[in-house]
Structure 1
Amino acid sequence: MHLLNNTCDVYVAVEALCYQREQQVNMMAQPIRLRIILGEDDARKLILPAGISDSIEELCQEVKTNFGVQQDFRLQYQDPDFGNEFVNLTAISEINDKATLKVVYLDMTCQPVRSPTHSFSSSSADTDNTRPVSSSGSSPSTRLSVWPSVFTVPRFSYEAELQLEKANAEFIAGGTHLTPSPKLKSHLLERLAEEIIKFKVYPTDNDLNEVAEVLVKQHPCLREQGSFNGCYGWKISLKYKMANVRTKLRGLGCAEVLVNSLKNKAQDKSQAALNVKKPRRAEVNYCPQYPKGETTDSLEKERIALTFSYRRQEVIQGQPFIADFKSRWPALFTEKEIDKEFLRISTVPLLSRFFYELDLYTPRMMELFRGKGGVAGRKMRHIMVAISKDDTIHTRRACILKSLCVYLNEDHEKLVKEYTNTEANTEAMEQTVMGVYVIHQEGAEPGDDPENIGVLIEGVEVLTGLRSIAIACALLFGLIYCLNRSYPPELKCTFEVLQKIIMKLDGQRLSSKAQFLKNKLMG
């Protein structure tokens, strides 16, 4: 009796295993619908037309491919033995049709990557409106995954699925192939094209061949008679379909296809193909659209705002060396960009305000300088001689700035340092903390144009090839703001006057020397 009971137990166990295996085989042959929980308030429907995967790893890959998940994760299922609480999935056999699976990210600091909302189609795997990637909304052409290792044929319309189901049954029973009607074929190609566009607009021949092979494998009734691989005609049809889709997208202004239009290539149409702009190195987002609601101008403003705040944080908190900072932000060190940066910092235009006020005060300054006696008066009269030889606006401004230093009992040669071309790049220039440099040709006559004018900070030529000494002085003043530098101690009165009298920045609080000059200028 004991032996009989053992035999019965073995028989029951074997029968259960066979039944379980039969269920697995049936699941692998029939479409499976799964509810996938990607995160809080984010559940998606996943349809596996070819049935359940052979392994948990393949199922995880299906989830990654369909929903654009890039992080590593494990899956949990609802176990009925524990009141449908979620437990880790360790065997595919635990999954049934309409089961609910939960994605648990291995890096808990990561958040699920949401698939973009595609304007071209709505996949059966997408059942909610995705959250925008940025504050202004994501672009329809933004993609989150590369071409899948196994292409998944999308769910077709209800009517098309019924036709294919019936035709597949007839093919299995008697080998009858389906000759799809123009309407059905057009629908199939349209849905396949929509799925392809999720990954690339310019699929290769291998990509199209893979799609065609997967299509006839999943729906054998569509296999072509007489074709060497049973799907060559589908591949060609997909190729033409994708070309038509690109034409429509180009008309809608899609950037990644518009870039290949003739107007963006060579003027000679016979040479148009020489400048084809297509992805060449598996770029997923080769030329994405602007985010929703954004334009070139709005994005440029955002870029400037972000760049400005980031740069100011680096300048103020990091206090980098000039050489390092210039290598990181080379575009800042131009006349135009310094003017813009100063305006962002102070809300006051640099060059226009500087020269307008300087020219406005010039007549009165010249009177004050001529009336100055002693050593300072002689120095200023010597500087002003240049005006009698070359009475241009540039010369007059340069003489006024130099004389201003002398009037304030500071050394004008600390502000403007002059060298001959044989003395250029000497140790004296390398040791200059801050100033304007002027390089003359050796043996040049007074009044001759200098060979070069630039700005030195920490021994680095931050600006070169400037038009005049006055412009160089104004840009030096602007760079002090841009780089958050202190005024040179030996020129602090000169820069205070430039700031508070010329530029009218914080002009209510003046040192006694600057206040004395202001009273004279206003008198």
Structure 2
Amino acid sequence: MFVNMMAQPIRLRIILGEDDARKLILPAGISDSIEELCQEVKTNFGVQQDFRLQYQDPDFGNEFVNLTAISEINDKATLKVVYLDSVQLQSFTEDEGVTCQPVRSPTHSFSSSSADTDNTRPVSSSGSSPSTRLSVWPSVFTVPRFSYEAELQLEKANAEFIAGGTHLTPSPKLKSHLLERLAEEIIKFKVYPTDNDLNEVAEALVKQHPCLREQGSFNGCYGWKISLKYKMANVRSKLRGLGCAEVLVNSLKNKAQDKSQAALNVKKPRRAEVNYCPQYPKGETTDSLEKERIALLSEVQKRNNDNIVTMKMQKTFSYRRQEVIQGQPFIADFKSRWPALFTEKEIDKEFLRISTVPLLSRFFYELDLYTPRMMELFRGKGGVAGRKMRHIMVAISKDDTIHTRRACILKSLCVYLNEDHEKLVKEYTNTEANTEAMEQTVMGVYVIHQEAAEPGDDPENIGVLIEGVEVLTGLRSIAIACALLFGLIYCLNLSYPPELKCTFEVLQKIIMKLDGQRLSSKAQFLKNKLMG
């Protein structure tokens, strides 16, 4: 969905349940109706149940009141999602206002058994595996509560540490319990945590419980990090025995015959994919999901059938994802099996399923946010790179539309990172001589101009090429094509092209804010400049 970035962005705090509040950014401003706002909530957070929205009314001490007029909402407002059962739905529809009807949505909450509170329940996971994750690794890891007995021991030991500096040497039983609970919390976000992730967990543990700080460790928690590393390896072994797809894909029997090379082909999240290789939905098998895929081939041919297509795409997400990761199919073959995926709308939803982050709205909001500062940096660049960027930016003076500005920023970004922008955006004329060149393209955006076109004329066609296949065509702008190419890299589990590695890293870690804590020197230098 294209977003009009000229409108004033609106930031909302959405309360989805107990201990679950999230930020919703509406780059195009507030919706025109409550129904449209509900749709934004569903799309971004994967809500399937019937619900109503409540807002904080200043006339009643900021208590939550049912939302009946969109004019009640301002920037940075807090809204509460209240889920309804069938009885409540009938009563509310007749007497109180607008109900947000359910639709199939991309993501679902991580399995939970929490009780209903104030008629607010966890998001239904129908059509999805109960282990489907809800969010990316947190910026600040929260140490979970331990058992009652363990909390008592830690509380006493913390008091003694504050009073006299006495460190606790946990018994094997206590240490095992602490590691078990920490591992359970880690699994909610990823099965393969990095060293940095484990270090964050260890630091959070000794910060909350200073009695556990290690006296002989350079940072007070290195031993806890190593213990967590071995604990996670043991957890993965157990999950493999239980048939967890995310770790089963890395078992030796699923590797090549040369077992000595097994470790070189570990399939695990590389770019902050939250649902990298999900389990099949409850009750589904390979055969049943294959039938859904075949049915989807006919559904995609029908007009005004978006809801059914979205429902079936959601249901077959795990099947499709395992096919991509384990089978590593050719793009042409995969497109023929899953034609519904190769649209702007479905790529956006698939990216949301994988990363829990919306693709197009986040991409354009952040890109436009950084644009003024980027233009300053590009104008101040000297040498050959500076001349190239100034030449690219000339297009803005001739056609200062949002499409042109975004395209110029993306091309100039490549040059600023010492990469060739023509590897990202390949421009052709509409002659037969270009067909062979396009077929040789491994990955990129293509733009076809009429042979006698003047500067500023609209191109004849814009699309995306992967392995020489036109996977997308008829797109509205170069910037949308670049965003969808980035999304397809996630959807198809592709590597970044080596000649554009830094550019895609910046798009991922700075623009999309996925795994943004670890940056290469080039990306870190650019981030420092943007924040300066």
TM-score tier by shorter-chain length is 0.3 to 0.5
Deviates more, 1:135-144 or 1:115-124: 115-124
Give deviations 1:426-479, integer Å, cap 9, x for gaps. 211000000000000001011000000000000000000000000000000000
Is contact 1:499-1:505 (8 Å) kept?
yes
Deviates more, 1:32-41 or 1:354-363: 32-41
TM superposition shift of 1:277: 48
Which blocks of at least 5 consecutive residues in structure 1 are unaligned? 1-24
Gap change, CA 1:91 and 1:181, over 3 Å in 2: farther
Separation in 2, partners of 1:229, 1:500:
27
Is contact 2:47-2:123 (8 Å) kept?
no
Give deviations 1:63-121, integer Å, cap 9, x for gaps. 99999999999999999999999999999999999999999999999999999999999
Separation in 2, partners of 1:240, 1:33:
41
TM superposition shift of 1:384: 0.1
Is contact 1:176-1:221 (8 Å) kept?
yes
Gap change, CA 1:297 and 1:216, over 3 Å in 2: same
Gap change, CA 1:59 and 1:438, over 3 Å in 2: closer
Gap change, CA 1:131 and 1:277, over 3 Å in 2: farther
Gap change, CA 1:129 and 1:458, over 3 Å in 2: closer
- With the length of structure 1 as denominator, give the TM-score of the two structures: 0.43
Gap change, CA 1:280 and 1:174, over 3 Å in 2: same
Separation in 2, partners of 1:101, 1:359:
26
Give deviations 1:385-433, integer Å, cap 9, x for gaps. 0000000000000000000000000000000000000156521100000
Gap change, CA 1:50 and 1:149, over 3 Å in 2: farther
Structure with greater contact order relative to length (CA < 8 Å, sep ≥ 6):
2
Gap change, CA 1:352 and 1:265, over 3 Å in 2: same
Deviates more, 1:324-333 or 1:144-153: 144-153
Separation in 1, partners of 2:44, 2:405:
72
Structure 1 partner of 2:385: 376
Is contact 1:403-1:412 (8 Å) kept?
yes
Q: State whether structure 2 residue 483 is matched by structure 1 residue 474.
A: yes
Number of corresponding residues: 498
Is contact 1:411-1:490 (8 Å) kept?
yes
Structure 1 partner of 2:197: 207
Gap change, CA 1:167 and 1:296, over 3 Å in 2: same
Is contact 1:177-1:223 (8 Å) kept?
yes
Is contact 1:44-1:127 (8 Å) kept?
no
Is contact 1:424-1:439 (8 Å) kept?
no
Gap change, CA 1:262 and 1:388, over 3 Å in 2: same
- State the percentage of identical aligned residues: 99
TM superposition shift of 1:494: 0.0
- Write the mapping of 1:100-115 to structure 2, written as runs, cut at 5 A: none
Is contact 2:244-2:279 (8 Å) kept?
yes
Is contact 1:414-1:490 (8 Å) kept?
yes
SS of equivalent to 1:29 = coil
TM superposition shift of 1:42: 46
TM superposition shift of 1:211: 73
SS of equivalent to 2:441 = coil
Is contact 1:137-1:293 (8 Å) kept?
no
SS of equivalent to 2:5 = helix
Is contact 1:116-1:144 (8 Å) kept?
no
Instruction: Pick the structure with greater CA Rg.
Output: 1
Gap change, CA 1:445 and 1:308, over 3 Å in 2: same
1:191 to 181, 202, 210: 181
Deviates more, 1:455-464 or 1:263-272: 263-272
Q: Where has structure 1 moved over 3 Å in runs of 4 or more?
A: 25-305
TM superposition shift of 1:518: 0.0
Is contact 1:334-1:463 (8 Å) kept?
yes
- With the length of structure 2 as denominator, give the TM-score of the two structures: 0.43
Separation in 1, partners of 2:222, 2:64:
46
